[in-house]
Amino acid sequence: MTITGTTAADVTQIDLVRHGHSHSNSLQKIHGPRLCQGLTDIGRGQAALLADRIRTEHTDTAVTAVYSTPPARAHQTAQPIADALGLEVEFLDHWRYPEYGSAEGRGWAEVYAGHPAGHPALAPDHPIADGAETHAQVRAVTLQAITELLRRHRGKRMVLAGSTENVLAVYDVLLGLPADARIRWKPAVGHTSITTFCLRHPSWSPLPWRAELVRANDIAHLPAAQQAARFRTPSVLGA
């Protein structure tokens, strides 16, 4: 994807990609790196289509780095992209799946039903389960990840593969959304969707970046039936 009216020196492009359809999605369970069983056959096909699309875009604006969170479903989505571009999948301590504590391995519906506020969005400073990170902690870790990635790749284009929670946390951090924003809205994040932010670095600004949301939940590379299914299937927060 080409960003017009800019130069590589003043814009950092971040392509956020959600993993393909996974076994965790089929089970509707919370699975971190330890329990994640990776992508289903459908998910692997989605990842291949995504890689081909990014490879085509790469000829316009070169991708210089591909990162993944640790769960196998994210890594298996990032690897075909890296292979198509002749790059290695990289990992960063702070670009990771949130810690869900005692909710790990349980169903999303069960965990939500037991939440003291009725829904996590109503209590962003309360962990979803014992030992889980709060919304504020997830945002803080994500901010650390973005800060480090900008230090490494300012003025470049990178791909970050992760889960829905990762994409939503980047929205929160880059757009400066309030902690209770999820009560009012939740961006759609389909399997292998691409969400692109361009971070400008104007000399006049006291802030480290000025974020522009260039595209969101782009799944044009998927078959029409899968694109339509995204809006027919009930969705929970994560995975």
Helix-helix angle 72-85:41-58, to 10 degrees: 40
Q: Is residue 228 scored above 80 in pLDDT?
A: no
Spatial CB neighbours of 79, under 8 Å, sequence gap ≥ 6: 47, 68, 89
Q: How much is the pTM?
A: 0.90
| Nearest Cα residue to 95 out of 179, 160, 12 | 160
User: If you count them, how many residues does the chain have?
Assistant: 239
- 132, β-bridge pairs: 100
- In sequence order, the β-bridge partners of residue 199 are 12, 211
- Which tens digits make up the pLDDT trace of 108-162? 989 888 888 877 778 888 899 999 999 999 999 999 999 999 999 999 999 999 9
Percentage of residues in the chain having pLDDT higher than 70: 92
Average pLDDT, the chain: 90
Where on the phi/psi map is residue 112: left (φ > 0), alpha (ψ -120 to 50), or beta?
alpha
pLDDT band with cut points at 50, 70 and 90 for residue 4: very low
pLDDT tens per residue across span 15-56: 999 999 999 999 999 999 999 999 999 999 999 999 999 999
CA distances from 19 to 123, 131, 180, 195, 207 (A): 27, 25, 26, 12, 31
Cα 90 → chain centroid: 15
Closest to 42 in 3D by CA, of 221, 227, 234, 226: 226
Report the pLDDT value the prediction gives residue 6, as an integer from 0 to 100: 41
